[in-house]
Structure 1
Amino acid sequence: MSRLTELLRQARKADPQLGADLEAEIAALTKRRTFGLVFEQHQPEAVELPGRPVRRGDKVRVLPPRGETKSGDPRLWRVSRIERVDGQRLAHLAELDVEEPETQIMPADDVVVVAEFRDRIYPGLVETGRVERGGDKPFHSVINAENYHALEMLTYTHRHSIDAIYIDPPYNTGAKDWKYNNDYVEGDDDYRHSKWLAFMERRLKIARELLNPEDSVLIVTIDEKEYLRLGLLLEQTFPGARIQMVTYVINPRAGVARPGAFTRTEEYAYFVFVGEQSGVVPARMSGEELTSGKPRQAPIWFSLMRTGSNSSRNDRPNLFYPIWVDVEGQVRAVGDSMPLDGDRHAVEPLEAGLKAVWPIRPNGDENTWQLGPSAVRRAFEKGEARVNAREGKFTVNYLRTAEKKRIAAGEIEALGRDERGALILRHREGVERLSAPRSVWRSPAHDAGLYGSSLLTNLVPGRKFPFPKSLYAVEDTLRFVVQDKPNAVVLDFFSGSGTTANAVMRLNRQDGGRRQCISVTNNEVSADEQAGLRKQGLRPGDSEWEALGICDYITKPRLTAAITGRNPQGEPIKGDYKFIDEFPMSEGFEENAAFFTLTYEAPLSVRHNRAFERVAPMLWLRAGSRGRVIYDLGEDSWDMADSYGVLENLDQADEFVGAMSDREGVEIAYVVTDDDSAFQMVCRELPSEVVPVRLYESYLQNFEINTGRSL
């Protein structure tokens, strides 16, 4: 609508009557109701790429002069050519999207490359560091990038292979918490909801391609500003998925005041379960022992009386009968089913002193038992049913089929029988059988102040990040979906301070898992700091500016500290991790992490193998992020690492294939060739378990196809 509003303005200026007529017709159209979520899906979105060298054909903006704090020229320009004059690169610019384009010549250092979401990109990665303490474990990866482009890159490395995505996107509060088209979205922006939805939809569509379609989950946290629209967007984007929303308390002590409204203490998390196998794994939640005195175990005995739908006597008349007990609660007999027209009050006791226990609700409604009379008789004989006596009232419990299987499997042990003949049962020591979590979480471990902000201060003292999530809230959220997947790949493309990767490390420590986390964050500098930096004559892309960005200043130091156990000053981290796994933070983790920055390559350079060093980390990611990255193929023009190999010189194919056959754990062979028949020849010789990938055909084709997805 913002583009349409501008066109209407121009029409009114040229012909007031024509403008008025068009506005009236558009107003009538907008009153028509459309089913589902309605928003401006094609709101233009662009991002500046300050680290990208300016090339001929690029789309750019002109930067404001150094030292100015006001916004620069919002217009877009095309670079028609680059020339060098007196050692300075000059960019010849022509204005875009106008009938009579203006032209100008600017120093290349005073323009910044701009990418719109429709633009085709050819990504690469530059490694900026790594931490290794985890032996042969897969590496966690941190990617400094605009997340839409990072997601595009991941369609080449991880399409349909992500087990869980956890994201904490901007909440659209109007408080400079996110940018759209390089400007902060203010609270009074008429299109802020459409911008947010368009922003999210583009990213969720790519996320859908990354998730394992057979068994995976997307988790999105949100507050009250956009939770309704987010829910509809998720329903619209994942029509075949099961979606559930969880409410969890993040600020139990004070809450967040809202003028004229209730003080907010909670946030929400949407769980989108993709595939038939996907679901929640029962698990212990952090902090449960603080609220209940002990971890919550799944019950063993269940009520024999049926409740819920189809539980009344009229629904199942054959399941309405008396169970006769004496004054001590000892079962003496189980009666037969009573006809529907029978009156239970008219039934005479089998003998004096016996009392009939019927399936009667507290309000007097007649319900039914779970089992028929003969099955209940056998249950009492085996000790698999029992009567509870309390203040002259009696209730009946029984063992379900699931609990009887757990007894047979040894998860529940029988210690004998009680005085009434019922089995005495308990959970076997060391075996924790837990019930599924509820949809409202009130754990003290989820306090974002204590276990988000304060914990981050321990890891990176003196460095602030707005509203980090509680480490244990993220840990619990992931535990419920990847506890049974020790090799899960977890993605967070709004990773911020790196809490998700930290949580995955804790999960690995608790069960010996080898899960890996891919964290994507930009290197945005906070709004409060930007004005001061601009006054100093700094711009995005300058080393002094980038040093204060989220990725370089918070995310990388935080995860490095978490692994090594030492803060950026080299001192042991103070404090302890708490709850399910308590240990000093200074112990660190036996994990590996690698850090990268996304680059933008020219397709011709890729095709001619001149961008191999930037494409190399993507090959490593696709092969499982284990061991070293192959950056140089050496004199033989082939090399092999822990999980993959690369062959450039096909004359060395026999030697390459032989090495592949002798090496265990190699999963992918990348073959650099433009000749399809030569590629097929190598494929026939490779071991059957090795997946062949043709370079650079697969790479170029992937990103050419991706371009049309979001149009």
Structure 2
Amino acid sequence: MSRLTDLIAKAKAKDAALGAELDREFKILSSRLPFGLNFERHSPEAVELPLRPIRKGDKVRVLPERGITRKGDQRLWQVKAIHKAKKTADLELLGATAVETQTVALNDLVVVAEFRDTIYPGLVSTGKISRGGDKPCHTVINGENYHVLKALTYTHRGTVDAIYIDPPYNTGAKDWKYNNDYVEGDDLYRHSKWLAMMERRLLVAKELLNPADSVLIVTIDEKEYLRLGLLLEQLFPEAEIQMVTTVINRAGSQRAGRFSRVEEYIFYIFFGDAQVGLWTSTMLDDTIKDQKATMPTVWFTAIRRGTPSALRNARPNLFYPIFLHAKTGKFHSVGDPIGKDVDRTHITPPLGTIPMWPVHTDGTEQTWRFSADRMRQYFSAGTARLGKRDPSTGLRPVTYLQPGTLENIEKGTFVVTGRNEEGALELSLADGAAKLLAPRTVWSQSSHFARDHGSTLLKGMLGEKRFDFPKSLYAVEDCLRLVLMNKPEAIVLDFFSGSGTTAHAVMRLNKQDGGKRQCISVTNNEVAADEQKKLLEQGARPGDPEWEKWGICDYITKPRVAAAITGKTPDGEPIKGDYKFTDEFPMADGFEENAEFFTLTYETPVSVNYNLAFNRIAPLLWLRAGARGSRIDKLPNDGWAVADTYGLLSNVDTATPFIKALSKANGIRIAYIVTDDDRRFQAIAKRLPDDIEPVRLYESYLTNFSFTNGE
């Protein structure tokens, strides 16, 4: 190693640029693990964007002539000029030793994005269904999932409660593409391509998960489970990982001369305080054992942790002291917020008390989960309590009962048996309540059979077979239930959403416990391999309406989500049959839920900065504020507007009426302020109500993607 560093130093002295490049590559190689999972990253991964308009400076490929089924020219060209009148573009070959140019019709070009490129995403709504009143919206986003994940770093960084994905299993049967080409079974780099594809997406997914309390769930079969397990351990060393074996087909999948396969695998990756809830079955078989009922854990930490919005500077109104009696450690009172700039050590506590702040063990100032007034209400009602006293500091952890637990008390599932000596509620299971058991790591449930409750169920919903090998609806439902049963307002993400089973399962959970969970489903509009060949022979190409209508998002995901909510097939007929198992009712009843469908767009920073792309940025602002209620889809004429969960100030000179309107509104979470002047932004932010988060547009948007979109 020392010899190499000496040689690099000499190279830098002779050629600074070459030396720097060698140094960079050396650091990459030396940082790799000497053992464990090593693989080629195959960088850069690239994707074609057939719906994206051609712009000057774009990287493009030249499409083959219509009617040609063979693979076209895969070289990358740069658009040097566009001739609108002639509808052509001048191109120059990228990476060539000699200059090569050509002029090509715009219709014969497709934009290519490499995954190290910076993107500035937007969303265009393509339809909605509203049957859920004020519930948040489930969203289905049509786009390359890596780019959509990048978009979600602006809207959901650190706030997702659960990610469930069923990625391609890499069987070699044209089940996924890498760099615009199917990965065949005889590809010598099949496994490393799959790992590179998964690694990129999981790294972005990690930014979205709440590090203090969330779960990543990944399903897989025997083709890649060993490599996936190693990859997960390397990417998430801070997490706890368990693998579940689940029977999906007791009849077995025949393998000549080998055992008949009946199972798949589910990896659970637990972050922070995430837990598996107790359930009425061990999941090992369909029989419910008569065992003694066990009261589940229902008290959760009152400190918000892990996300940017959990820091004191982001929500100063949620930074306040709880005072304890210095001698006994018992609860005394809840103090008021002290503001953003006050040193907490300068606060004088009531006589005979010590203050307790929401501060991490490393000294980071965080926040409580709710306001001081609500904390007082919780202590008064006995729904907040103090834990065991730390003998070294005299402080005690604060926990509280989440909304789902309070609903279970109202429904009679949990019974209040009294209060402890400090007034906190004491709970037990009601007589006759279902026996609650710890789920096992081997599942064998008839409800999880993919054929009966995946393929057959989906065919009944859509009126015809449109998708191969969907997961059992009830299998996905159980996967999520065991980690979300105490999170009735959880945010769930599936970025390999396929037929939309995850969104459907979340709706089922909501109906069972009155929850308001929301699911973000991400899929592209890839056309099945066999269908692609037919369409190419007919002269169609990606981007054409006759091609896109057969894509997985438009042909399967959106119709399935719509059918689940409305209870009707795409032809308008009531869906036949009943839901089974945990909650039985006619499928034709549908669900009281809301959903909206979007397509990912690609904007320029100039158009964003000058308000020219606002109608496509608007859905992102709405998503960040909770995807609930009304949306501000165009710049307001009055210079400001207030929706159900957020406000927009587009003209800072109208700040006073905007702030007055926010003060009168209920449920506002965010105030977006459009200004290039940081001092004016800070001045307006200080005047906002304490529980509203100020966000500066478009600085927050542009900065987010400028710093998160490189490989």
What TM-score range do you get, normalising by the shorter chain? 0.7 to 0.9
Letter in 1 for 2:704: N
Point out where structure 1 has 5 or more consecutive residues left out of the alignment. Answer: 1-28, 302-408, 415-425
Q: Return the alpha-carbon distance in structure 2 between the equivalents of residues 148 and 33 of structure 1.
A: 25
Equivalent position of 1:698 in the other structure: 700
Equivalent position of 2:490 in the other structure: 488
Equivalent position of 2:501 in the other structure: 499
Equivalent position of 1:112 in the other structure: 110
Report the CA distance between 1:33 and its aligned residue. 9.2
- Kindly report the root-mean-square deviation, in angstroms, between the aligned alpha carbons of the 2 structures: 2.3
Equivalent position of 1:279 in the other structure: 275
Equivalent position of 1:632 in the other structure: 634
Pair 1:225-2:223 in alignment: yes
Q: Return the alpha-carbon distance in structure 1 between the equivalents of residues 513 and 503 of structure 2.
A: 16
Report the CA distance between 1:252 and its aligned residue. 1.2
Report the CA distance between 1:593 and its aligned residue. 0.3
Equivalent position of 1:63 in the other structure: 63
Equivalent position of 1:668 in the other structure: 670
TM alignment of 1:121-270, pairs within 5 A: 121-253=119-251, 255-270=252-267
TM alignment of 1:404-483, pairs within 5 A: 428-483=430-485
Alignment check: 8 A CA contact 1:61 1:76 kept: yes
- Per the alignment, in what secondary structure is the counterpart of residue 176 of structure 2? strand
- Per the alignment, in what secondary structure is the counterpart of residue 583 of structure 1? coil
Letter in 2 for 1:500: T
1:291 to 286, 291, 300: 286
Cα deviation digits, residues 614-653 of structure 1 (max 9, x gap): 0000000000000122112332021111100111011211
- Per the alignment, in what secondary structure is the counterpart of residue 642 of structure 1? coil
Identity %: 63
Q: Return the alpha-carbon distance in structure 2 between the equivalents of residues 469 and 543 of structure 1.
A: 29
Report the CA distance between 1:411 and its aligned residue. 6.7
Report the CA distance between 1:44 and its aligned residue. 2.9
Equivalent position of 2:611 in the other structure: 609
Q: Return the alpha-carbon distance in structure 1 between the equivalents of residues 117 and 488 of structure 2.
A: 38
Letter in 2 for 1:283: W
Taking a change above 3 Å as real, the CA distance of residues 470 and 285 of structure 1, as seen in their structure-2 partners, is farther
Alignment check: 8 A CA contact 1:91 1:106 kept: yes
TM alignment of 1:548-697, pairs within 5 A: 548-697=550-699
Cα deviation digits, residues 90-124 of structure 1 (max 9, x gap): 11111111211321110011010000110100000
Equivalent position of 1:525 in the other structure: 527
Q: Return the alpha-carbon distance in structure 2 between the equivalents of residues 707 and 300 of structure 1.
A: 47
Letter in 2 for 1:166: Y
Q: Which moved more, 1:631-640 or 1:153-162?
A: 631-640
Report the CA distance between 1:413 and its aligned residue. 13
Letter in 2 for 1:209: E
Report the CA distance between 1:428 and its aligned residue. 4.3
Alignment check: 8 A CA contact 2:283 2:442 kept: no
Report the CA distance between 1:433 and its aligned residue. 3.7
Report the CA distance between 1:260 and its aligned residue. 2.8
Equivalent position of 1:38 in the other structure: 38
> Which of 1 and 2 has greater Rg?
1
Taking a change above 3 Å as real, the CA distance of residues 108 and 562 of structure 1, as seen in their structure-2 partners, is same
Taking a change above 3 Å as real, the CA distance of residues 496 and 296 of structure 1, as seen in their structure-2 partners, is farther
Equivalent position of 1:337 in the other structure: none
Alignment check: 8 A CA contact 1:287 1:444 kept: no
Taking a change above 3 Å as real, the CA distance of residues 459 and 78 of structure 1, as seen in their structure-2 partners, is same
Letter in 1 for 2:87: R
Alignment check: 8 A CA contact 1:136 1:626 kept: yes
Cα deviation digits, residues 139-198 of structure 1 (max 9, x gap): 000000100000000000000000000000000000000000000000010111110000
Cα deviation digits, residues 244-300 of structure 1 (max 9, x gap): 0000011112x212233211111000000011x112111235998x832x4665467
- Per the alignment, in what secondary structure is the counterpart of residue 233 of structure 2? helix
Alignment check: 8 A CA contact 1:78 1:94 kept: yes
Report the CA distance between 1:35 and its aligned residue. 1.0
- Per the alignment, in what secondary structure is the counterpart of residue 577 of structure 1? coil
Equivalent position of 2:54 in the other structure: 54
Alignment check: 8 A CA contact 2:614 2:635 kept: no
Taking a change above 3 Å as real, the CA distance of residues 413 and 595 of structure 1, as seen in their structure-2 partners, is closer
Equivalent position of 2:95 in the other structure: 97
Alignment check: 8 A CA contact 1:286 1:579 kept: no
- Per the alignment, in what secondary structure is the counterpart of residue 239 of structure 1? coil
- Per the alignment, in what secondary structure is the counterpart of residue 88 of structure 1? coil
- Per the alignment, in what secondary structure is the counterpart of residue 91 of structure 2? strand
Q: Return the alpha-carbon distance in structure 1 between the equivalents of residues 415 and 689 of structure 2.
A: 47
Report the CA distance between 1:43 and its aligned residue. 3.6
Report the CA distance between 1:466 and its aligned residue. 1.4
Cα deviation digits, residues 582-638 of structure 1 (max 9, x gap): 000000000000100000001100011100000000000000000122112332021
Letter in 2 for 1:55: R
Alignment check: 8 A CA contact 1:41 1:198 kept: yes
Alignment check: 8 A CA contact 2:282 2:438 kept: no
- Per the alignment, in what secondary structure is the counterpart of residue 87 of structure 2? strand
Alignment check: 8 A CA contact 2:150 2:709 kept: no
- Per the alignment, in what secondary structure is the counterpart of residue 469 of structure 2? coil
- Per the alignment, in what secondary structure is the counterpart of residue 204 of structure 1? helix
Letter in 2 for 1:566: K
Equivalent position of 1:349 in the other structure: none
Q: Return the alpha-carbon distance in structure 2 between the equivalents of residues 270 and 291 of structure 1.
A: 22
Taking a change above 3 Å as real, the CA distance of residues 280 and 65 of structure 1, as seen in their structure-2 partners, is same
TM-score (structure 2 length as normaliser): 0.76
TM-score (structure 1 length as normaliser): 0.76
The total of aligned residue pairs comes to 557
Equivalent position of 2:339 in the other structure: none
Equivalent position of 2:304 in the other structure: none
- Per the alignment, in what secondary structure is the counterpart of residue 539 of structure 2? coil
Alignment check: 8 A CA contact 2:283 2:443 kept: no
Point out where structure 2 has 5 or more consecutive residues left out of the alignment. Answer: 1-28, 296-411, 418-427
